[in-house]
Amino acid sequence: MPAEKPARSPETPARSAEATAEGAFGRLTGLARRWEGLILVLLVAVMLWASFAVDGFANPSNVSFLLLDTTEIAIMALTMTLVIVAAEIDLSVASTLGLSCAVLGWLWNAGLAIETIMPICLLVGALCGAVNGLLVTRLGLPSLAVTIGTFALYRGLAYVILGDQAVADLPPAYTGLATQTFGPIPLVTVLVAILAALAAVVLHATGLGRSIFALGSNEEAAFFAGVRVKRIKFWLFTASGVFASLASLVYTFRYASARADNGVGLELAVVAAVLLGGVSIFGGRGSLPGVLMAVLLLGVVRNALILADVANEVLNFVTGLLLVASVLAPNLGAVWRRRTTRRSVRLEGNTPR
């Protein structure tokens, strides 16, 4: 998994740099690092528990099913991480996926070659993202409101284009490719790994990534430091749309069915994974390895519960709970730390800093 890719971030200074001017900064990244560690421990623990306690979990075919099942969420979580680090949000990703599926089904019914349709789908995704980006950057609208609106708009357009029909007679060459595996590793997981490496390099090893962190933590300061805030945000939203339509291609071929309601509700899983991965909803903090581990963790929990015959809706309950817990835990931890430091300061005789 690409999760092992080391995050070469200049933001993670040496651990000993605490009492220096970078103290607050160091503490923050320290928390993030501890959070990722926590997710990793949790992931390993759940995997161990599931392999022993849940029948058929450690089975190779189940492992490849598990990986296959997290593909779309993983792809969309990559760009969602960048968007949320930039202190914005894109709730329309699942609807963009649906619209792209609908366009695929519609054009296939119209008799176009699948090789022509796929780039068109990616273009549709780019367009969806660009509309979000324009509304957010040019008009200065809050991305939450904009993407709740386009969440409805894109899904609605998908229904207008394809109605409630399902297009299932897709070319077997491509549906086969989407479920092809090498041993327990599905082909599409390789695609995810490549995309993840790309996104991780952009976020953690390039100037663009630094700019994204900068504008996410303080947009005005970033602007005055010369970061092209609007341009970067616009392209982040566009990339989010492209990745959503990429996910739609995988989704459509994997289930061999193009429908307007493909992927309804996936935006929750994506946002949940990103936040669980330690990305701050207020922007400026987070890392891709953490997000990928969180995607995997949610996938494992889901898979294990399905194998244990837990109903689908109860699974959503667990996802919702994990989402709330992922934000609640660090908050409560911060409150607790503040209390204890205040007490220790008082005990030490109240030395002014």
Partner 1 sequence: MSGPEAEVLRDAGAAEAALPGGPGAPNGRGLVERVARVRELGIVVALVALFGVTGAVNPAFLGFDSLRDILLNSAIIAMLAVGQTLVVVTRNVDLSVSSIVGLAAFGGAVILADDPGVPIPVVIAGCVLLGALCGAVNGLLVGVAKVPALVATLGTLYAFRGIDFAVAGGRQVNAADMPEAFLSLGSGSVLGLPLLALVAVVVLLAVGWMMGNLPWGRELYAIGSNPDAAVLAGIRVRRRVVTAFVVNGALAGLAGVMWAARFGTVDATVATGKELDVIAAVVVGGVAIFGGSGTVYGAALGALLLSSITSALAVLRVDALAQTAINGALLIAAIVLDRVLALRVAAALRRRRYRDAR
3-state secondary structure string, the chain? Answer: CHHHCCCCCCCCCCCCCCCCCCHHHHHHHHHHHHHHHHHHHHHHHHHHHHHHHCCCCCCHHHHHHHHHHCHHHHHHHHHHHHHHHCCCCCCCHHHHHHHHHHHHHHHHHCCCCHHHHHHHHHHHHHHHHHHHHHHHHCCCCCHHHHHHHHHHHHHHHHHHHHCCCCECCCCHHHHHHHHCEECCEEHHHHHHHHHHHHHHHHHHHCHHHHHHHHHHHCHHHHHHCCCCHHHHHHHHHHHHHHHHHHHHHHHHHHHCCECCCCCCCHHHHHHHHHHHCCCCCCCCCCCHHHHHHHHHHHHHHHHHHHHCCCCHHHHHHHHHHHHHHHHHHHHHHHHHHHHHHHHHHHHCCCCCC
Cβ distance to partner 1 smaller for residue 31 or 281: 281
Contacts of 33 (CB under 8 A, 6+ apart): 12
In our burial notation (b when 16+ CB lie closer than 10 A, e otherwise), range 191-224 reads: bbbebbeebbebbbeeebbbbbbbbbbebeebee
Cβ distance to partner 1 smaller for residue 89 or 256: 89
Cβ distance to partner 1 smaller for residue 44 or 325: 325
Q: What is the closest distance, in whole angstroms, from the C-beta atom of residue 328 to partner 1 in the complex?
A: 6
User: Does 271 interact with partner 1 (rule: CB under 8 A)?
Assistant: yes
Cβ distance to partner 1 smaller for residue 152 or 194: 152
The binder of partner 1 chosen from 35, 65, 106, 154 (CB under 8 A)? 154
- Letters for 48-87 (x = contact with partner 1 by CB under 8 A, - = none) are ----------------------------------------
Q: What is the closest distance, in whole angstroms, from the C-beta atom of residue 165 to partner 1 in the complex?
A: 11
The binder of partner 1 chosen from 29, 238, 303, 319 (CB under 8 A)? 319
Contact 81/284 with Cβ under 8 angstroms? no
User: Does 140 interact with partner 1 (rule: CB under 8 A)?
Assistant: yes
User: Does 208 interact with partner 1 (rule: CB under 8 A)?
Assistant: no
Q: What is the closest distance, in whole angstroms, from the C-beta atom of residue 17 to partner 1 in the complex?
A: 28
User: Does 309 interact with partner 1 (rule: CB under 8 A)?
Assistant: no
Cβ distance to partner 1 smaller for residue 83 or 188: 83
Cβ distance to partner 1 smaller for residue 154 or 213: 154
User: Does 143 interact with partner 1 (rule: CB under 8 A)?
Assistant: no
User: Does 148 interact with partner 1 (rule: CB under 8 A)?
Assistant: yes
* Only segment of 46-54, 238-246, 288-296, 321-329 that touches partner 1 (CB under 8 A): 321-329
User: Does 253 interact with partner 1 (rule: CB under 8 A)?
Assistant: no
* Only segment of 157-165, 207-215, 242-250, 298-306 that touches partner 1 (CB under 8 A): 157-165
How many chain residues are in contact with partner 1, going by CB under 8 A? 47
* Only segment of 6-14, 117-125, 179-187, 309-317 that touches partner 1 (CB under 8 A): 309-317
Which residues make up the interface to partner 1 (CB under 8 A)?
A: 89, 135, 139-142, 144-146, 148-157, 159-160, 163-164, 220, 223, 268, 271-272, 275, 281-282, 311, 313-321, 323-324, 327-328, 331-332
